[in-house]
Amino acid sequence: MIFNSSIGRIFLRSTEKGLTKLVLNPGPEYYPEGDQYHPILISARQQLLEYLEGKLKKFKIPIDWKNATHFNKLVWKTLLRIPSGTTVSYTDIAEEIGSPKAVRAVGLANRNNPIPIIIPCHRVIGKSGDLHGFVYGLEMKQKLLHIENPVQFPLQKALF
């Protein structure tokens, strides 16, 4: 399924078990497959649109973990527990999963997140509080955090 949103076009893919992929502004290699009216896709689309309007704080979409490594699944399930409008550091995630020295591996798991926004890797920031790494860029990360908490994450205005 591909649809338009306030942050661009969104591509979604699912299996019978749950969502497997979300891509922002997909290229031509992403094309709808299978049942575009599958209830999982319809629900995911509706929830994403509500989220982007600031009306939804927690997604209720099944996820198909079939291609996730044990470590990535552990990280991604931890990300799902970060409340909307809040952030944690890569170090916090590494400690939470019982691997305090795996900070870089946590960053890699975030980078490999197949379902950004719904699995909220944008809520992970540097230990200093700075925004770091997001597959769709720091401006998009800032936008998503602003949607969730406009007071704590005001949008930066251009000077010119």
Active site residues: 121
Contacts of 22 (CB under 8 A, 6+ apart): 10, 11, 12, 44, 114, 115, 116, 117, 118
Going across the sheet that includes 19-24, the strands are 2-5, 8-14, 19-24
Segments of 1-160 assigned E as strands: 2-5, 8-14, 19-24, 88-89, 124-125
DSSP 132: -
Q: Say how far apart CA 90 and CA 50 lie, in whole Å.
A: 28
